[in-house]
Structure 1
Amino acid sequence: MEKPHILQVGPYPEWDEAPLQSAFTVHRYFDAADKSAFLSSVGPQVRAIATRGELGAARSMIDACPNLEIVSVYGVGYDAVDLAACREKGIRVTNTPDVLTNDVADLGVAMMLCQSRGMISAERWVQDGSWAAKGLFPLKRRVWGRRAGILGLGRIGFAVAKRLQAFDMDIAYSGPAAKPYAEGMEFISDPVALAARSDFLFVTLAASAATRHIVGRDVLAALGDEGMLINIARASNIDEEALLEALETRTLGSAALDVFEGEPKLNPRFLKLDNVLLQPHHASGTIETRKAMGKLVRDNLAAHFAGRDLPTPVL
């Protein structure tokens, strides 16, 4: 029996490439010099798209694959997949939730600690001889016992909250509605009000048209000149121009960011700031989690072609 043809949009780690190529006939879109011609050539054979969260699948790609049945996303975010096109054509969509939740939450908390205690600049203080020449490192701000706000208390937001409880932090959250599992946390529906009562504001929202730029000038102003913004979700949830202005003028105290518009080519203004911690979109970047994500991509594809229920459907 002929193996199903799939379109692979971006590269995966080697441990995922081999089993994917063993189970399917793989057409590597990212290797094609002329991507439009490549899609025209292989598109009619393609029954599945294997992609990454930030790469997604645009309508033009979906239209070029008239026999497409499923889009399997390597990542929890699927905002870059044209869901409207998939709905119109009856195409299934899956992602890889849960398996990356704890690693993403770990990095978010680590970023908060690192930025609040100045660990990057403190290491430079040692490395460049400032400790010996100038004495003690400048004092920074504590984390424990302070106020944290979580914008979006889904899987990742709740995992962040559980970690923050170990620091005896005063935790509040915002979202469409209060969560029954959020015991001991205050629900604040308005993101501006949440920011106003927060020393640290974590952005853990799924991205959508409704959440685009939900963190704008008003939220940043409410967070204030001693507040810290931590984004481990999607760049589109933040008005990046407003964020840069707030950091440059120090109307926002600091930020710790794992995602950016146009990444990896982020706005060079970020590189001139001393009050932002920059990370290369690697919150789920552990060997264990990436192996689990790759397996879940393949499990969804295998289930679809075997006529079984999809493990983690979005559509």
Structure 2
Amino acid sequence: MPKTARPKVIVSRRLPQAVETRMAELFDVELNFDDTPFDQARLIDAVRRADVFVPTVTDHVDAAVLAEAGEKLKLIANFGVGIDHIDLHAAREKNIVVTNTPGVLTDDTADMVMALILSVPRRIAEGEKIIREGSWAGWSPTGMLGHRITGKRLGIIGMGRIGQAVATRARGFGLAVHYHNRERLPASVEAGLEATWWPTLEAMLTRVDIVSINCPHTPETHHLINDKALRLMQRHVYLINTARGEIVDEAALAAALSRRGIAGAGLDVFEHEPKIHPDLLNLPNVVLVPHMGSATFEGRQAMGDKVIANIQVWKDGHRPPDQVLEGWV
């Protein structure tokens, strides 16, 4: 495609208005004004017609979809950090570049982790429900007792950008930071975070009071938190997941919570979004929020800016700054 040509860009969901407007100025863009998620037929139509496709986490750009891609499609500029919904191997086989939007959601997601860490032990959602139902009878010395988090041990699974941002915040709340990662952090980083590394997940799970999942979803991390892992945790443990729902076996989690095998959970993501395991909906010791860890005006704008930058750099004939390699995790 000539460098002066305006590439055909198809966007699968509504984006912030300023992002859509800038795309319209720069590219031949096709927007999704009604924000209806693409089904497979619309995904196939998009990859057949576009030079650049801009999907989100709700779009399963798998091998079957990419098999239908036209010769024009050369870039998938994902609106989001996680790319487990895109078949990177199939994209590479078709010589399609894939980009994402790393770095801009770190603080927002880490803030959500801390919000859930505070909400579940302190029973904030339960208390709010009592107020709205009109069943609060007033303050009492034994009413709505929860647990303080100061002095507790936080176990972080995945110590990348978000995991380290969580660790920084956790230290401010008096939590002792533990972590499990495929590779140990440099000693200087570990010292700065006052973090204790565990070479195996099993060893860490038996020793901490709160578990925060901050790793990507990959074949290796699918159902990483299963019945076996949940049974390693002590009964007073709280589980927090703001990463990907598929990392947790939701049925096993619901069973563990029901039998009080663990004390509670705070979930921002779910295994079969937007469906949620029905048992979780009826449990008082779970805080459920609708995948909003990155949902800030600032974060969404920054994501859009990165998508535009990746498309523009690619259009100009250069390697996009956020190109994802097949082995990305």
TM-score (norm 2): 0.89
Match status 1:160 vs 2:163: no
Cα 1:245–1:31 change in 2 (3 A) is closer
Cα pair 2:78 2:98 within 8 Å, conserved:
yes
Q: Secondary structure at the match of 2:116?
A: helix
RMSD: 2.2
Amino acid at match of 1:46: A
Partner of 1:9: 12
> 2:230: which partner in 1?
220
* In structure 2, distance between residues paired with 1:217 and 1:119: 27
Residue 307 of structure 1, aligned match among 317, 320, 328: 317
- Matched position secondary structure for 1:123: helix
Name 2:157's counterpart in structure 1: 151
Which segment drifts farther, 262-271 or 133-142? 133-142
* CA–CA separation in structure 2 for the residues paired with 1:63 and 1:278: 37
Letter in 2 for 1:139: L
| Structure 1 runs of 4+ with >6 Å offset | none
Cα drift, residue 32 of structure 1: 9.2
Q: Give how far 1:296 is off.
A: 0.6
Alpha-carbon deviations, 1:258-308, whole Å to 9, x = none? Answer: 000221222222111111000100101111111001111111111111113
**How many residues were matched structurally?**
314
1:76 aligns with 2:81: yes
Q: Residues 241, 46 of structure 1: CA spacing in aligned structure 2 closer, same or farther, 3 A cutoff? A: same
Q: Choose which of 205, 209, 215 in structure 2 pairs with 1:199.
A: 209
Matches within 5 A, 1:1-315: 2-28=5-31, 36=41, 39-40=44-45, 43-67=47-71, 68-127=73-132, 128-132=134-138, 137-180=143-186, 181-183=189-191, 184-315=194-325
Whether the 8 Å contact between 2:66 and 2:90 is mirrored in structure 1 is: yes
TM-aligned CA deviation for residue 221 of structure 1: 1.3
Q: For 1:43 and 1:57, how far apart are their aligned partners in 2?
A: 9
Relative to 1, partners in 2 of residues 1:21 and 1:39: Cα closer, same or farther, differing over 3 Å?
farther
Task: Pick closer, same or farther for the CA change 1:267–1:176 going to 2, 3 Å.
Answer: same
Unaligned 5+ runs, structure 1: none
Mean Cα deviation higher: 121-130 or 279-288: 121-130
Output the CA distance in 2 between the equivalents of 1:271 and 1:129.
20
Contact 1:148–1:171 (8 Å) recurs in 2: yes
Letter in 1 for 2:243: A
Q: Residues 246-268 of structure 1, C-alpha deviation per residue, up to 9 Å, x if partnerless?
A: 11111121000000022122222
SS in 2 for 1:6: strand
Structure 1 pair 50/13, CA: closer, same or farther in 2 (3 Å)?
same
CA contact 1:56–1:73 (8 Å) conserved in 2: no
CA 1:188–1:103 in structure 2 vs 1: closer, same or farther (change >3 Å)? same
Q: Percent identity?
A: 32
Q: CA shift at 1:136, angstroms? A: 5.3
Q: Secondary structure at the match of 2:321?
A: coil
Once the two structures are superposed, what CA deviation does each residue of 1:70-103 show, in whole Å capped at 9, x if it has no partner? 1111111001001110121221111111110001
Deviation at 1:158, TM superposition (A): 0.6
* Structure number having the greater helix percentage: 1
Contact 1:48–1:71 (8 Å) recurs in 2: yes
Q: Distance in 2 between matches of 1:283 and 1:71?
A: 23
User: Alpha-carbon deviation of 1:60?
Assistant: 2.6
Following the alignment from structure 1 to structure 2, what is the Cα–Cα distance between the partners of residues 244 and 209?
22
- Cα deviation per residue 1:97-117 (whole Å; 9 max; x = unaligned)? 111000100010011101111
Give deviations 1:104-158, integer Å, cap 9, x for gaps. Answer: 0001001110111111222334442523387752211010111110000011011
Secondary structure of the residue that 2:240 maps to in structure 1? strand
Give the SS at the match of 2:183. coil
The AA in structure 2 aligned to 1:163 is R
Task: Decide whether aligned partners of structure 1 residues 139 and 86 sit closer, same or farther in structure 2, where only a CA change above 3 A counts.
Answer: same
Distance 1:34 1:100 in 2: 27
Structure 2 stretches lacking a partner, 5+ long: none
Q: CA 1:69–1:115 in structure 2 vs 1: closer, same or farther (change >3 Å)?
A: same
Q: Contact 2:250–2:277 (CA<8 Å) still a contact in 1?
A: no
Which piece of structure 1 moves more, 59-68 or 292-301?
A: 59-68
For 1:19 and 1:61, the matched residues in 2 are separated by 28
TM-score by length of 1: 0.92
CA shift for structure 1 position 59 = 2.0
Q: Which deviates further from its counterpart, 70-79 or 119-128?
A: 119-128
Amino acid aligned to 1:160: V
SS at match of 1:293: helix
